[in-house]
Amino acid sequence: RVGVGARTANTFGNVAVPSNYVAGLGRGAVGFTTRSDIGPARTAAPQSGAAPAQPPVADFGAAPAGYVAGAGRGASILGKRPETDTTKEDLSETQYDQFTGYSQKLFSDTPYDAADAEADQIYEAIDSRMDMRRKKRRESKMLETIQKFRQDKPKISDQFVDLKKDIGELTAADWEAIPDVKDGSLKLTQAKRKEIYTPLSDAMLAGAA
């Protein structure tokens, strides 16, 4: 007889475990397989007197000159570190200009090959052709600008062209009749000095009275 509140343990000793059963799967457990479940990893040794079986080995032939195993993953020759360029370009805002860009070359460490040379030749040919197409229009615009500037501000020699023609008709007597330039500024300065009045002091005025 079982008392009130007492529980009996459930036994599944007489029930076979399912093939896909995982203990605690309902609580989030994950099934795993051990070596004992699948057997040894190596094949069984052959019978006595026979050589052990060797796994097949891929034959890639002789290694090329300078071959370093794992060089693609950053490996280097034993005892040597891979050479890296420690000089880094300064691409900060202090090296940047609004019109010319960076003062340093962005691709200075990139090798210059034949493809780059061919690309430069193509770009230079395109630039020269475009410059020739714009040359005629640029020259006409420049000539128009110069003519307009000379109309607004003509040269002094151009302003007195008509007077030069009249000067060519003067005789030697006309040239000798031209009066000499006098120093009128000195006389004007001296005349002003005579008209300078200096006020007297009160003591001198009282003594004169």
Q: How many CA atoms lie within 13 A of 19 on its CB side?
A: 0
Confidence of residue 120 (pLDDT cuts 50, 70, 90): very high
Compare 166 and 115 and report the one with higher pLDDT: 115
Report d(CA 46, CA 14) in Å as an integer.
42
For residues 141-156, average pLDDT: 88
Residue 161 lies in a domain: yes
8 Å CB contact between 130 and 122: no
Q: Which neighbouring-strand residues pair with 102?
A: 96
Predicted pLDDT at 56: 66
Predicted pLDDT at 118: 94
Count of structural domains, the chain:
1
Q: Is the pLDDT of residue 5 over 70?
A: no
For residues 186-208, average pLDDT: 77
Residue 28 lies in a domain: no
Q: What pLDDT digit, counting tens, does each position of 42-55 carry?
A: 665 555 655 555 66
pTM over cut 0.75 = no
Residue 117 lies in a domain: no
Residue 86 lies in a domain: no
Q: What is the residue range of 140's domain? A: 135-169
Confidence of residue 6 (pLDDT cuts 50, 70, 90): low
| Residue 208 phi, psi (nearest 5) | -70, -25
Q: What pLDDT digit, counting tens, does each position of 70-116 carry?
A: 776 665 555 455 555 555 666 677 777 777 676 666 666 678 889 98
Among the listed residues 81, 90, 135, the one whose alpha carbon sits nearest the alpha carbon of residue 108? 90
8 Å CB contact between 174 and 166: no
Residue 142 lies in a domain: yes
Predicted pLDDT at 60: 75
Q: Is the pLDDT of residue 160 over 70?
A: yes
Predicted pLDDT at 122: 95
Compare 83 and 151 and report the one with higher pLDDT: 151
For residues 2-21, average pLDDT: 67
For residues 133-145, average pLDDT: 88
% of the chain with per-residue pLDDT over 70? 65
